[in-house]
Structure 1
């Protein structure tokens, strides 16, 4: 399922590298609802662009939803063909989806950052041709996207090392145990590190987490080209989760090995693949 969506997105991108002023008839006259408890402008635009590309119409609702009213999933199903949700919770979305008669996709929640993580995986596959055997490093504050990587990496055959806390404030991601179980079955490495050099050891992919306002955290997660090249002896690429702060300088952020903007470009291809599969079981 996961690789099916990613491959579908890659195929669509190969056919329409530039999607400006393009409109297909894949989802002609379908209605896509973008339901946001919290405003996520980038995700909002990615899904909206995907809907337009496939010939669908989109409607945006930003409100403090009462997720405990499970019947809302059923109500909104009368008015849309697919629902994309951004929320600060997660389990309530599951109950909402259970009541819905149309596909519900969680764009981002407290637990997951589905579209961003899938777009990053898509970029890695575009670079290396596969995720199997790729060493991925995540260095930054805890973030829902890290939870998604912890599931996707072992599921697709990649190794992942991460550092998301300091020695003074130990924190483990919400899905650490789930990732551990998948890793043991897929014979991949999933390791939580407290040392930056340990995280970056033999890295093929380096992902910086979002910035933080705390100076001690910035220093803890600061990373530069010299840090990567000291530990990695292979071709490497770099992604920033964004928003970007002082933990990454201009040299690394704009380096020829940086692929951050590829991820943002891939978001609407991933959203389109999810949308087409969910509404019409269609793959590109």
Structure 2
């Protein structure tokens, strides 16, 4: 009898303690994420971005490692607008949203008017009445901003010509899983000053990460993004190096990153770009200048001129883990923007 009583008390205390921990977690975060748009990471502070990653890691642990069913988005629907083709963004969003019990709806330019036969303003209002959120992969960032202005539901940037925030969240989750932390690490970007780089520039310093950037002359990142990155770096006390020398950028780096040299819509520039980017291929010679614990990231799809096979398929390449994490981080974003969910696992070290 006494044994059963102790067991009941212990179970009750355990349940109470878990509830208290969850309360502390919720109080600790105390973040206003639900209902917000995710157009760029510039508008999110360090704790908010960390919370996205915490929720992502929590869902990955609960669903993938423990085999739990976590229908946090049951009864919710997502409109997915794609002006550009996609593999990882589409698949990660469709499978992730469905895995959480929600219903994703895929729309191409053949399925939706998107400012042609129907104004963006009207489209935003129609979608607000039928779905709970919109993920849009578009050419112009201004289209996302107009959708966000007119919609009453969260708008998520699935990629624009200016930014690719959901890709960078996957990168940070991958780095955190590998190293166990982010603060103090150095990322080296060797390639084009594009949308992916812009998103890194607007967030790396918020984690206390140093950033080395090497681009060919004429391919530097946007000046306004650079100004913001310099300010973030100054505030956080991190190093921001900008150069045209890829080997200088690689020096002492923990994470080597590159991307396509010819993005969608730039096909006519391919011949010139390949000429201008000579010397920017990441090889084992590049890695010799990096830190001994170097790793490699690429958001894919990859071309051999950007990184050779020896690096791309090496044990230090995290590209396929990075690709999988696109699913877990988009799930983390959707859960954070659409629910009041508090992670049940310990907060990762950032």
Q: Same fold (TM over 0.5)?
A: yes
Q: Secondary structure at the match of 2:257?
A: strand
Can you list the C-alpha shifts for 1:218-274, whole angstroms capped at 9, x where unaligned? 423112112212x12431110123222223211111000000111110011111111
Cα offset, 1:18, TM superposition = 6.4
Between 1:11-20 and 1:251-260, the stretch displaced more is: 11-20
Indicate conservation of the 8 Å contact 1:143/1:210, yes or no.
no
Distance 1:24 1:131 in 2: 28
> 1:272 aligns to what?
331
Are the aligned partners of 1:273 and 1:283 in contact in 2 as well (CA < 8 Å)? Answer: no
- From 80, 86, 101, give the equivalent of 2:152: 101
| Secondary structure, aligned partner of 2:278 | helix
Q: Matched residues in 2 for 1:159 and 1:223: separation?
A: 19
Number of residue pairs the alignment of both structures matches: 280
Aligned CA distance change for structure 1 residues 242 and 164 (closer, same or farther; 3 Å): farther
1:55 and 1:186, CA in 2 relative to 1: closer, same or farther beyond 3 A? same
| Alignment-derived partner of residue 41 in structure 1 | 87
Between 1:32-41 and 1:130-139, the stretch displaced more is 32-41
Give the 5 Å matches for 1:60-75. Answer: 60-63=106-109, 65-66=114-115, 69-75=120-126
C-alpha distance in 1, partners of 2:66/2:103?
16
User: Are residue 241 (structure 1) and residue 241 (structure 2) matched?
Assistant: no
Q: Which structure 1 residue ranges, 4+ long, deviate > 6 Å from structure 2?
A: none
- Equivalent-residue separation in structure 2 for 1:82 and 1:216 (angstroms): 42
Structure 2 equivalent of residue 15 of structure 1: 62
Does 1:24 pair with 2:70?
yes
Residue of structure 2 in register with 1:82 after alignment? 133
Conserved? CA contact 1:19–1:53, under 8 Å: no
Shift of 1:32: 1.0
C-alpha distance in structure 1 between counterparts of 2:342 and 2:195, whole Å: 27
8 Å contact from structure 1 (residues 142, 209) kept in 2: no
Which deviations, in whole Å up to 9, do the C-alpha atoms of 1:91-119 show, x marking residues without a partner? 22122112211111111111111111110
- Structure 1 or 2, whichever has the larger Rg, is 2
Kept in 2: contact 1:34–1:58 (CA 8 A): yes
**Equivalence for 2:284:** 225
Q: Is the 8 A contact 1:115 1:267 kept in 2?
A: yes
- The answer to whether the Cα contact below 8 Å between 1:136 and 1:159 also exists between their aligned partners in 2 is yes
Which residues of 2 match residues 62-211 of structure 1 at below 5 A? 62-63=108-109, 65-66=114-115, 69-166=120-217, 169=218, 171-173=220-222, 175-211=225-261
Could you say what secondary structure the match of 2:174 adopts? helix
**Partners in 1 of 2:320 and 2:329 — Cα distance?**
14
Structure 2: runs of 5 or more not aligned: 1-47, 263-269, 344-350
Structure 1 residue 19, shift from structure 2 partner: 10
* CA shift digits 1:30-77 (9 cap, x unpaired): 111111222323201111011111000111111162186323222210
Tell me, in whole angstroms, the C-alpha distance in 2 between the residues paired with 1:257 and 1:220: 22
Ranges in structure 1 where 5+ consecutive residues have no aligned partner: none
Q: What is the root-mean-square deviation in Å for CA atoms of aligned residues?
A: 2.0
Q: Higher mean Cα deviation, 203-212 or 249-258?
A: 203-212
Bigger drift between 209-218 and 104-113 goes to: 209-218
- For normalisation by structure 1, the TM-score amounts to 0.92
CA contact (8 A) 2:215 2:246 kept: no
1:253 is the counterpart of 2:306:
no
Q: Note if contact 1:85-1:104 (Cα within 8 Å) is conserved in structure 2.
A: yes
TM-score, scaled to structure 2: 0.75
Would the aligned equivalents of 2:55 and 2:336 in 1 still touch at CA under 8 Å?
A: no
